[in-house]
Amino acid sequence: MALFLPTVAVEKVTDITPELIKNMKASAIILDVDNTLAVHGSQIPFKGTIEWTRSMRKNDINILIMSNNFKKRVEPFAAQYGLPFMYLSLKPLPLGYFRAIYKMGVKRKDVVVVGDQIFTDVIGSNLAFMKSILLVPTGKEKSMSFLIRRSLEKPIRYIIKATNRGKKYFK
Protein backbone atom coordinates (compact mmCIF):
# COMPACT_ATOMS: atom_id res chain seq x y z
CA MET A 1 0.00 0.00 0.00
CA ALA A 2 2.87 2.41 0.70
CA LEU A 3 3.57 2.60 -3.03
CA PHE A 4 0.20 4.38 -3.48
CA LEU A 5 0.52 6.81 -0.56
CA PRO A 6 1.89 10.35 -0.83
CA THR A 7 4.01 11.95 1.85
CA VAL A 8 1.43 14.73 2.26
CA ALA A 9 -1.94 15.59 0.70
CA VAL A 10 -3.52 19.04 0.29
CA GLU A 11 -6.41 20.39 -1.72
CA LYS A 12 -4.64 22.62 -4.27
CA VAL A 13 -1.14 23.66 -5.21
CA THR A 14 -1.52 27.12 -3.65
CA ASP A 15 -2.05 25.42 -0.26
CA ILE A 16 1.62 24.40 -0.38
CA THR A 17 3.77 26.89 1.49
CA PRO A 18 7.52 27.41 1.47
CA GLU A 19 7.42 26.36 5.14
CA LEU A 20 5.80 23.03 4.22
CA ILE A 21 8.49 22.35 1.62
CA LYS A 22 11.25 23.30 4.10
CA ASN A 23 9.60 21.13 6.81
CA MET A 24 9.73 18.25 4.35
CA LYS A 25 13.50 18.92 4.19
CA ALA A 26 13.26 19.78 0.51
CA SER A 27 14.43 22.65 -1.67
CA ALA A 28 12.98 21.66 -5.06
CA ILE A 29 9.62 20.80 -6.60
CA ILE A 30 8.80 18.70 -9.65
CA LEU A 31 5.41 20.04 -10.67
CA ASP A 32 2.70 18.41 -12.78
CA VAL A 33 0.56 20.48 -15.19
CA ASP A 34 -2.91 19.07 -15.85
CA ASN A 35 -5.29 19.42 -12.89
CA THR A 36 -2.38 20.81 -10.88
CA LEU A 37 -1.74 24.18 -12.56
CA ALA A 38 -4.64 24.23 -15.06
CA VAL A 39 -7.70 22.29 -16.15
CA HIS A 40 -6.67 19.28 -18.22
CA GLY A 41 -5.58 20.50 -21.68
CA SER A 42 -6.09 24.20 -20.92
CA GLN A 43 -3.44 26.88 -21.41
CA ILE A 44 -5.12 29.10 -18.80
CA PRO A 45 -3.43 28.74 -15.38
CA PHE A 46 -5.47 28.37 -12.23
CA LYS A 47 -5.86 31.64 -10.35
CA GLY A 48 -2.87 32.44 -8.18
CA THR A 49 -0.57 29.69 -9.44
CA ILE A 50 1.84 31.97 -11.32
CA GLU A 51 2.21 34.14 -8.22
CA TRP A 52 2.59 30.98 -6.11
CA THR A 53 5.55 29.79 -8.21
CA ARG A 54 7.16 33.24 -7.92
CA SER A 55 6.76 33.14 -4.14
CA MET A 56 8.32 29.68 -3.98
CA ARG A 57 11.28 30.78 -6.08
CA LYS A 58 11.74 33.89 -3.90
CA ASN A 59 12.06 31.43 -1.02
CA ASP A 60 14.88 29.60 -2.84
CA ILE A 61 12.74 26.66 -3.93
CA ASN A 62 13.73 25.33 -7.33
CA ILE A 63 10.79 24.32 -9.59
CA LEU A 64 10.60 22.26 -12.77
CA ILE A 65 7.42 21.39 -14.67
CA MET A 66 7.24 17.73 -15.68
CA SER A 67 4.44 16.27 -17.78
CA ASN A 68 3.59 13.17 -19.76
CA ASN A 69 2.06 15.50 -22.35
CA PHE A 70 3.58 16.62 -25.66
CA LYS A 71 5.95 19.56 -26.06
CA LYS A 72 3.29 21.64 -27.88
CA ARG A 73 1.15 21.44 -24.71
CA VAL A 74 3.86 21.89 -22.07
CA GLU A 75 6.26 24.45 -23.60
CA PRO A 76 3.86 27.41 -23.97
CA PHE A 77 2.35 26.61 -20.58
CA ALA A 78 5.74 26.55 -18.83
CA ALA A 79 6.65 29.82 -20.59
CA GLN A 80 3.78 31.57 -18.76
CA TYR A 81 5.49 30.60 -15.50
CA GLY A 82 9.04 31.19 -16.71
CA LEU A 83 9.93 27.66 -15.59
CA PRO A 84 12.05 24.91 -17.11
CA PHE A 85 10.07 21.88 -18.23
CA MET A 86 10.17 18.30 -19.37
CA TYR A 87 7.61 16.63 -21.61
CA LEU A 88 6.84 13.01 -22.52
CA SER A 89 8.27 12.10 -19.10
CA LEU A 90 6.79 8.59 -19.03
CA LYS A 91 5.50 8.94 -15.46
CA PRO A 92 5.38 6.79 -13.33
CA LEU A 93 8.65 5.33 -14.61
CA PRO A 94 11.54 6.62 -12.44
CA LEU A 95 13.76 7.56 -15.41
CA GLY A 96 11.88 10.85 -15.99
CA TYR A 97 12.24 11.77 -12.32
CA PHE A 98 15.96 11.02 -12.42
CA ARG A 99 16.34 13.16 -15.56
CA ALA A 100 14.47 15.97 -13.78
CA ILE A 101 16.76 16.00 -10.73
CA TYR A 102 19.80 15.92 -13.01
CA LYS A 103 18.41 18.88 -14.97
CA MET A 104 17.69 20.74 -11.71
CA GLY A 105 21.07 19.92 -10.20
CA VAL A 106 19.56 18.54 -6.98
CA LYS A 107 19.50 15.24 -5.12
CA ARG A 108 16.34 13.19 -4.91
CA LYS A 109 16.17 13.62 -1.11
CA ASP A 110 15.75 17.37 -1.73
CA VAL A 111 12.76 17.03 -4.09
CA VAL A 112 9.00 16.98 -3.60
CA VAL A 113 6.85 15.79 -6.50
CA VAL A 114 3.49 17.62 -6.71
CA GLY A 115 0.55 16.34 -8.73
CA ASP A 116 -3.05 15.16 -8.74
CA GLN A 117 -2.73 11.52 -9.82
CA ILE A 118 -1.88 8.57 -7.61
CA PHE A 119 -1.01 6.26 -10.52
CA THR A 120 1.49 8.65 -12.11
CA ASP A 121 2.69 11.32 -9.68
CA VAL A 122 2.62 9.41 -6.39
CA ILE A 123 3.68 5.99 -7.63
CA GLY A 124 6.40 7.60 -9.76
CA SER A 125 7.78 9.61 -6.86
CA ASN A 126 7.75 6.54 -4.61
CA LEU A 127 9.51 4.41 -7.24
CA ALA A 128 12.15 7.15 -7.53
CA PHE A 129 12.43 7.38 -3.70
CA MET A 130 11.19 10.98 -3.61
CA LYS A 131 8.67 12.75 -1.39
CA SER A 132 5.28 13.71 -2.80
CA ILE A 133 2.30 15.98 -2.29
CA LEU A 134 -0.99 14.75 -3.73
CA LEU A 135 -3.62 17.30 -4.76
CA VAL A 136 -7.35 16.97 -5.22
CA PRO A 137 -7.96 16.96 -9.00
CA THR A 138 -9.71 20.03 -10.35
CA GLY A 139 -11.94 19.57 -13.35
CA LYS A 140 -13.34 16.46 -14.94
CA GLU A 141 -11.41 14.42 -17.46
CA LYS A 142 -13.57 12.81 -20.11
CA SER A 143 -11.52 9.87 -21.38
CA MET A 144 -12.36 6.33 -20.32
CA SER A 145 -8.83 5.75 -19.00
CA PHE A 146 -9.17 8.74 -16.65
CA LEU A 147 -12.59 7.59 -15.46
CA ILE A 148 -11.15 4.17 -14.64
CA ARG A 149 -8.08 5.62 -12.88
CA ARG A 150 -10.16 8.07 -10.85
CA SER A 151 -12.51 5.30 -9.72
CA LEU A 152 -9.51 3.14 -8.72
CA GLU A 153 -8.10 6.11 -6.77
CA LYS A 154 -11.21 6.53 -4.60
CA PRO A 155 -10.41 3.87 -1.97
CA ILE A 156 -6.78 5.01 -1.83
CA ARG A 157 -7.84 8.63 -1.32
CA TYR A 158 -10.12 7.44 1.48
CA ILE A 159 -7.12 5.80 3.18
CA ILE A 160 -5.07 8.98 2.66
CA LYS A 161 -7.80 11.01 4.33
CA ALA A 162 -8.16 8.47 7.16
CA THR A 163 -4.40 8.50 7.84
CA ASN A 164 -4.49 12.32 8.04
CA ARG A 165 -1.70 12.94 5.52
CA GLY A 166 -2.99 16.46 4.98
CA LYS A 167 -5.09 18.72 7.14
CA LYS A 168 -6.71 20.41 4.14
CA TYR A 169 -7.31 17.22 2.17
CA PHE A 170 -10.96 16.78 1.21
CA LYS A 171 -13.81 18.48 2.94
pTM higher than 0.85: yes
Domains and CATH numbers, the chain: 2-162 (3.40.50.1000)
Using the predicted structure, report yes or no on whether residue 117 has a pLDDT greater than 50. yes
Question: Could you tell me how many helices (H) and strands (E) the chain has, helices first?
Answer: 6, 6
Q: How many CB atoms lie within 10 A of CB 25?
A: 10
User: What's the pLDDT score for residue 5?
Assistant: 92
What's the rounded Cα separation, in Å, for the pair 164 and 27?
A: 24
pLDDT digits (tens, 9 = 90+) for 6-63: 999 999 999 999 999 999 999 999 999 988 999 888 889 999 999 999 999 999 999 9
* Residue 154 near residue 118, CB atoms below 8 Å: no
Taking alpha carbons only, the member of 151, 108, 140 closest to residue 127 is: 108
